[in-house]
Amino acid sequence: MASTDRSRTQRSVEHQSLDAFDSALRQFLAAPSHAHRFLAGVADVLKGDPFLTMTQDLLDEALNLSTQYILGNLDSKIVEETTRIATAELPLFAPGETTGLYAARIRASAEDLR
């Protein structure tokens, strides 16, 4: 009888562990990717001054800030791969386009990387 109780308790603990693992896995898979978060960070920086005319210098600054703040605590290989994936999705900006409009287009591109 005691072995049956131990067996039942062990199964219960294993079942709880699997439930916790499944829950953590669901949360992980539902979270945005690093590339999505990186591009969203770029968009946030650019949206801070939405009426400026978009330039390469402004984009470089936004990319650098997003790298520091969004990816700064990750391993360098992950940062490298994330920025490679994200910049491949980065749309080109049009001459005369505002930073606010470009930020909205970046955010839309980031959704492809969710």
Q: Average pLDDT over the chain, rounded to whole?
A: 89
Residues 91, 106: contact at Cβ < 8 Å? yes
Burial state string for 84-111 with b = 16 or more CB within 10 A and e = fewer than 16:
ebbeebbeebeeeebbbbbbebbbebbe
Using one digit for the tens of pLDDT, what is the confidence trace for 60-90? 999 999 999 999 999 999 999 999 999 999 9
For 46-64, write each residue's pLDDT tens digit.
999 999 999 999 999 999 9
Distance CA 29, CA 107 (A): 20
